[in-house]
Structure 1
Amino acid sequence: MNTKFQDLINSDTPVLIDFYATWCGPCKMLSPILKEVKDNFADSLSIIKVDVDKNQELAAQYQVRGVPTMMFFQSGKQLWRQSGVLSKQDIIATIVAKSSIK
Protein backbone atom coordinates (compact mmCIF):
# COMPACT_ATOMS: atom_id res chain seq x y z
CA MET A 1 0.00 0.00 0.00
CA ASN A 2 2.77 2.43 0.89
CA THR A 3 4.50 2.35 -2.52
CA LYS A 4 1.16 2.68 -4.24
CA PHE A 5 0.26 5.57 -1.92
CA GLN A 6 3.54 7.32 -2.74
CA ASP A 7 2.85 6.88 -6.46
CA LEU A 8 -0.61 8.41 -6.00
CA ILE A 9 0.52 11.50 -4.12
CA ASN A 10 3.50 12.02 -6.45
CA SER A 11 1.35 12.06 -9.58
CA ASP A 12 0.67 15.24 -11.52
CA THR A 13 -3.03 14.93 -10.71
CA PRO A 14 -3.83 16.60 -7.36
CA VAL A 15 -5.02 14.11 -4.74
CA LEU A 16 -7.36 14.58 -1.79
CA ILE A 17 -6.84 11.84 0.80
CA ASP A 18 -9.66 11.04 3.21
CA PHE A 19 -8.42 9.15 6.27
CA TYR A 20 -11.55 7.59 7.74
CA ALA A 21 -12.89 4.72 9.86
CA THR A 22 -15.96 2.59 9.18
CA TRP A 23 -17.25 3.19 12.74
CA CYS A 24 -16.91 6.99 12.52
CA GLY A 25 -20.17 8.97 12.25
CA PRO A 26 -18.63 12.20 10.88
CA CYS A 27 -16.73 10.10 8.29
CA LYS A 28 -20.08 8.79 7.01
CA MET A 29 -21.33 12.40 6.74
CA LEU A 30 -18.22 13.40 4.76
CA SER A 31 -18.52 10.63 2.17
CA PRO A 32 -21.39 12.12 0.08
CA ILE A 33 -19.77 15.57 0.35
CA LEU A 34 -16.56 14.18 -1.16
CA LYS A 35 -18.56 12.56 -3.96
CA GLU A 36 -19.98 15.98 -4.83
CA VAL A 37 -16.46 17.49 -4.71
CA LYS A 38 -15.24 14.75 -7.06
CA ASP A 39 -18.17 15.42 -9.43
CA ASN A 40 -17.23 19.11 -9.42
CA PHE A 41 -13.61 18.47 -10.48
CA ALA A 42 -14.15 15.32 -12.59
CA ASP A 43 -10.78 13.92 -13.76
CA SER A 44 -8.69 16.88 -12.60
CA LEU A 45 -8.74 15.59 -8.99
CA SER A 46 -8.30 12.16 -7.42
CA ILE A 47 -9.98 11.40 -4.11
CA ILE A 48 -8.60 8.43 -2.20
CA LYS A 49 -10.20 6.99 0.93
CA VAL A 50 -7.84 5.38 3.44
CA ASP A 51 -9.31 3.23 6.22
CA VAL A 52 -7.13 3.98 9.26
CA ASP A 53 -7.94 0.62 10.86
CA LYS A 54 -6.71 -1.30 7.81
CA ASN A 55 -3.77 1.06 7.15
CA GLN A 56 -2.47 1.82 10.64
CA GLU A 57 1.14 2.19 9.51
CA LEU A 58 0.20 4.81 6.89
CA ALA A 59 -2.04 6.66 9.36
CA ALA A 60 0.83 6.70 11.88
CA GLN A 61 3.29 7.90 9.22
CA TYR A 62 1.05 10.91 8.52
CA GLN A 63 0.26 11.39 12.23
CA VAL A 64 -3.49 10.97 11.79
CA ARG A 65 -4.86 11.22 15.32
CA GLY A 66 -8.54 11.72 14.58
CA VAL A 67 -10.92 10.87 11.77
CA PRO A 68 -11.95 12.12 9.38
CA THR A 69 -8.70 13.82 8.40
CA MET A 70 -8.30 15.13 4.87
CA MET A 71 -4.95 15.86 3.24
CA PHE A 72 -4.39 17.48 -0.11
CA PHE A 73 -1.29 16.64 -2.18
CA GLN A 74 0.01 17.89 -5.48
CA SER A 75 3.22 16.55 -7.05
CA GLY A 76 4.15 14.83 -3.78
CA LYS A 77 3.78 17.94 -1.61
CA GLN A 78 1.20 18.16 1.16
CA LEU A 79 -0.48 21.50 0.59
CA TRP A 80 -3.28 21.27 3.14
CA ARG A 81 -4.55 19.19 6.06
CA GLN A 82 -7.79 19.41 8.01
CA SER A 83 -9.56 17.20 10.52
CA GLY A 84 -13.33 17.10 10.79
CA VAL A 85 -16.20 17.56 8.37
CA LEU A 86 -16.17 20.56 6.04
CA SER A 87 -18.83 21.73 3.60
CA LYS A 88 -18.51 21.00 -0.10
CA GLN A 89 -17.98 24.72 -0.74
CA ASP A 90 -15.14 24.94 1.80
CA ILE A 91 -13.36 21.90 0.38
CA ILE A 92 -13.70 23.15 -3.21
CA ALA A 93 -12.51 26.65 -2.26
CA THR A 94 -9.47 25.19 -0.49
CA ILE A 95 -8.55 22.96 -3.44
CA VAL A 96 -8.85 25.85 -5.88
CA ALA A 97 -6.79 28.13 -3.61
CA LYS A 98 -4.04 25.57 -2.94
CA SER A 99 -3.64 23.94 -6.35
CA SER A 100 -3.35 24.54 -10.06
CA ILE A 101 -6.95 23.32 -10.56
CA LYS A 102 -9.45 26.03 -11.37
Structure 2
Amino acid sequence: MYKFHALLYHLKKWSLLLLVFSFGRVYSQNHRDSLDQEPLIKNLTVEEFNKRIHSGLVLVYLKADWCAICKKQTPIINELVAEQNNKLKLLIIDTEANPLINDYFEVPGLPLMYIYKDGKHVWDRIGLTEKKLILDQLNYFTK
Protein backbone atom coordinates (compact mmCIF):
# COMPACT_ATOMS: atom_id res chain seq x y z
CA MET A 1 0.00 0.00 0.00
CA TYR A 2 2.84 2.40 0.82
CA LYS A 3 4.45 1.85 -2.59
CA PHE A 4 1.14 2.63 -4.29
CA HIS A 5 0.81 5.98 -2.44
CA ALA A 6 4.41 6.85 -3.17
CA LEU A 7 3.88 6.06 -6.84
CA LEU A 8 0.69 8.15 -6.91
CA TYR A 9 2.50 11.04 -5.24
CA HIS A 10 5.30 10.98 -7.80
CA LEU A 11 2.86 10.72 -10.71
CA LYS A 12 1.01 13.84 -9.48
CA LYS A 13 4.29 15.68 -9.04
CA TRP A 14 5.55 14.78 -12.54
CA SER A 15 2.23 15.57 -14.20
CA LEU A 16 2.24 19.01 -12.54
CA LEU A 17 5.79 19.63 -13.74
CA LEU A 18 4.85 18.51 -17.23
CA LEU A 19 1.87 20.88 -17.23
CA VAL A 20 4.01 23.81 -16.05
CA PHE A 21 6.72 22.99 -18.61
CA SER A 22 4.18 22.75 -21.45
CA PHE A 23 2.57 26.08 -20.52
CA GLY A 24 5.98 27.71 -20.26
CA ARG A 25 6.91 26.52 -23.75
CA VAL A 26 3.65 27.82 -25.24
CA TYR A 27 4.03 31.19 -23.48
CA SER A 28 7.66 31.43 -24.47
CA GLN A 29 6.91 30.61 -28.12
CA ASN A 30 4.07 33.16 -28.31
CA HIS A 31 6.29 35.77 -26.71
CA ARG A 32 9.14 34.96 -29.08
CA ASP A 33 6.77 35.33 -32.07
CA SER A 34 5.89 38.85 -30.92
CA LEU A 35 9.59 39.69 -30.51
CA ASP A 36 10.25 38.75 -34.14
CA GLN A 37 8.33 41.87 -35.18
CA GLU A 38 10.77 44.16 -33.35
CA PRO A 39 13.96 45.53 -34.86
CA LEU A 40 16.07 43.13 -32.78
CA ILE A 41 19.73 43.41 -33.68
CA LYS A 42 22.05 40.43 -33.61
CA ASN A 43 25.79 40.30 -34.27
CA LEU A 44 26.31 44.04 -34.02
CA THR A 45 29.88 45.31 -33.98
CA VAL A 46 30.99 48.38 -32.06
CA GLU A 47 31.74 50.18 -35.35
CA GLU A 48 28.22 49.50 -36.67
CA PHE A 49 26.78 50.63 -33.37
CA ASN A 50 28.69 53.94 -33.54
CA LYS A 51 27.41 54.51 -37.10
CA ARG A 52 23.80 53.95 -36.01
CA ILE A 53 23.95 56.43 -33.12
CA HIS A 54 25.96 59.04 -35.04
CA SER A 55 23.07 61.37 -35.90
CA GLY A 56 19.70 62.23 -34.46
CA LEU A 57 18.02 61.00 -31.30
CA VAL A 58 18.53 57.27 -30.68
CA LEU A 59 17.05 55.08 -27.94
CA VAL A 60 19.25 52.04 -27.35
CA TYR A 61 17.47 49.22 -25.50
CA LEU A 62 19.52 46.26 -24.28
CA LYS A 63 17.59 43.15 -23.31
CA ALA A 64 17.72 39.38 -23.13
CA ASP A 65 15.15 36.65 -23.76
CA TRP A 66 15.56 35.22 -20.25
CA CYS A 67 14.99 38.59 -18.54
CA ALA A 68 11.50 38.80 -16.99
CA ILE A 69 11.68 42.56 -16.47
CA CYS A 70 12.67 43.00 -20.13
CA LYS A 71 9.45 41.23 -21.11
CA LYS A 72 7.54 43.92 -19.21
CA GLN A 73 9.65 46.77 -20.57
CA THR A 74 9.49 45.77 -24.26
CA PRO A 75 5.80 46.67 -24.83
CA ILE A 76 6.41 50.06 -23.16
CA ILE A 77 9.32 50.74 -25.51
CA ASN A 78 7.30 49.65 -28.56
CA GLU A 79 4.38 51.89 -27.59
CA LEU A 80 6.70 54.84 -27.02
CA VAL A 81 8.44 54.45 -30.36
CA ALA A 82 5.10 54.13 -32.17
CA GLU A 83 3.97 57.43 -30.64
CA GLN A 84 7.22 59.21 -31.58
CA ASN A 85 6.78 58.57 -35.34
CA ASN A 86 10.03 59.52 -37.06
CA LYS A 87 11.54 61.65 -34.29
CA LEU A 88 13.30 58.72 -32.70
CA LYS A 89 15.49 55.84 -33.86
CA LEU A 90 15.32 52.64 -31.84
CA LEU A 91 18.04 50.02 -31.47
CA ILE A 92 16.97 46.89 -29.62
CA ILE A 93 20.06 44.85 -28.83
CA ASP A 94 19.97 41.24 -27.69
CA THR A 95 22.78 41.02 -25.14
CA GLU A 96 23.08 37.25 -25.55
CA ALA A 97 23.68 37.49 -29.31
CA ASN A 98 26.00 40.52 -29.08
CA PRO A 99 28.86 39.76 -26.71
CA LEU A 100 31.00 42.59 -28.13
CA ILE A 101 28.31 45.17 -27.38
CA ASN A 102 27.77 43.54 -24.01
CA ASP A 103 31.46 44.12 -23.21
CA TYR A 104 31.36 47.63 -24.69
CA PHE A 105 28.55 48.71 -22.32
CA GLU A 106 29.82 46.65 -19.36
CA VAL A 107 26.16 45.76 -18.76
CA PRO A 108 25.45 45.99 -15.02
CA GLY A 109 21.83 44.80 -15.30
CA LEU A 110 18.87 44.45 -17.62
CA PRO A 111 16.88 46.01 -19.10
CA LEU A 112 19.27 48.82 -19.89
CA MET A 113 18.38 51.93 -21.89
CA TYR A 114 20.55 54.68 -23.30
CA ILE A 115 19.62 57.83 -25.16
CA TYR A 116 22.14 59.21 -27.63
CA LYS A 117 21.85 62.58 -29.31
CA ASP A 118 24.07 63.06 -32.36
CA GLY A 119 26.42 60.34 -31.12
CA LYS A 120 26.73 61.63 -27.55
CA HIS A 121 25.50 59.67 -24.57
CA VAL A 122 22.97 61.90 -22.77
CA TRP A 123 20.88 59.58 -20.56
CA ASP A 124 20.74 56.02 -19.27
CA ARG A 125 18.56 53.89 -17.04
CA ILE A 126 18.71 50.35 -15.65
CA GLY A 127 15.61 48.37 -14.77
CA LEU A 128 11.90 48.71 -15.43
CA THR A 129 11.19 52.31 -16.39
CA GLU A 130 7.85 54.06 -16.75
CA LYS A 131 6.88 55.35 -20.16
CA LYS A 132 6.41 58.89 -18.80
CA LEU A 133 9.99 59.09 -17.51
CA ILE A 134 11.44 57.97 -20.85
CA LEU A 135 9.12 60.33 -22.72
CA ASP A 136 10.13 63.26 -20.48
CA GLN A 137 13.80 62.57 -21.21
CA LEU A 138 13.17 62.26 -24.96
CA ASN A 139 11.23 65.53 -24.98
CA TYR A 140 13.98 67.27 -23.04
CA PHE A 141 16.62 66.21 -25.57
CA THR A 142 14.53 67.02 -28.66
CA LYS A 143 14.42 70.72 -27.74
Name the counterpart of 1:79. Answer: 122
5 Å matches for 1:80-95?
80-95=123-138
Q: Does 1:10 align with 2:54?
A: yes
> For residue 82 of structure 1, what is the amino acid of its counterpart?
R
Name the counterpart of 1:24. Answer: 67
1:24 Cα shift?
0.3
Q: Aligned equivalents of 1:42 and 1:63: distance in 2?
A: 30
Name the counterpart of 1:46. Answer: 89
Which structure shows the bigger proportion of residues in helix conformation? 2
- State the structure with more CA Rg: 2
Aligned-CA RMSD value:
1.1
Q: Which runs of 5+ in 1 are unaligned?
A: none
**Secondary structure of the structure 2 residue equivalent to 1:15:** strand
Name the counterpart of 1:37. Answer: 80
Aligned pairs, number = 99
**Secondary structure of the structure 1 residue equivalent to 2:85:** helix
> For residue 106 of structure 2, what is the amino acid of its counterpart?
Q
Name the counterpart of 1:58. Answer: 101
1:90 Cα shift?
1.1
1:29 Cα shift?
0.5
Percent of matched pairs sharing the same residue: 26
Name the counterpart of 2:6. Answer: none
Which structure shows the bigger proportion of residues in strand conformation? 1
Deviations 1:9-31 (A, max 9, x none): 112x2110111000000001011
> For residue 130 of structure 2, what is the amino acid of its counterpart?
S
TM-score by length of 2: 0.66
Instruction: Report 1 or 2 for greater relative contact order, CA contacts < 8 Å, sequence distance ≥ 6.
Output: 1
